[in-house]
Amino acid sequence: MPRPTLTTIAPCFIVTHVPTTITFYRDQLGFDIEYREPQTDPFFAVVRRDSVMVFFKAHEGLQPIPNPSRHPWIKWDAYVSVPDPDALATEFAGRGVTFHCPLGKTSEGLRGFEVRDPDGYVLFFGRLD
């Protein structure tokens, strides 16, 4: 019997202000807004670029806790597999993205770069080198 296929995984980040997060992912990283609730000043949203989705939720009294703030060796909150990280880095640079860690080879043998979002979540965009 063939094994069922998985197509994507979507992390859910607790954020301070969903509209600010939406703006960053849309304008800086080129994501589309898939869903938001409510439409005005949402507390929940889903953004998508290709098969990559991220969920965001804000709730009074909850603060974002990115992995790097918990322990220095847990440096990423999400790994985004990218066939051509060089081309994506060029696109992001053209959008004015500030890189948390520039394009290069990591100690783990990956080629890519890091971006930090407004709440401190670190996304690695890259591939095995």
pLDDT reading at 8 higher than 90: no
Name the DSSP class of 115.
E
**Residue from 87, 89, 85, 79 nearest 121 by CA:** 79
Contacts of 33 by beta carbon, 8 Å cutoff, 6+ apart: 22, 26, 45, 46, 47
Provide the residue range defining the domain that includes 82: 12-59+76-128
Number of domains in the chain: 1
Task: Tell me what pLDDT residue 60 has.
Answer: 93
pLDDT 10s digits, 45-66: 999 999 999 999 999 999 999 9
User: Is 36 part of a structural domain of the chain?
Assistant: yes
Residue 118: CATH number of its domain = 3.10.180.10
Reduced to 3 states (helix: H, G, I; strand: E, B; else coil), residue 109 is coil
Reduced to 3 states (helix: H, G, I; strand: E, B; else coil), residue 54 is strand
User: Is 64 part of a structural domain of the chain?
Assistant: no
pLDDT 10s digits, 70-115: 998 899 999 999 999 999 999 999 999 999 999 999 999 999 999 9
Model confidence band, residue 9 (pLDDT cutoffs 50, 70, 90): confident
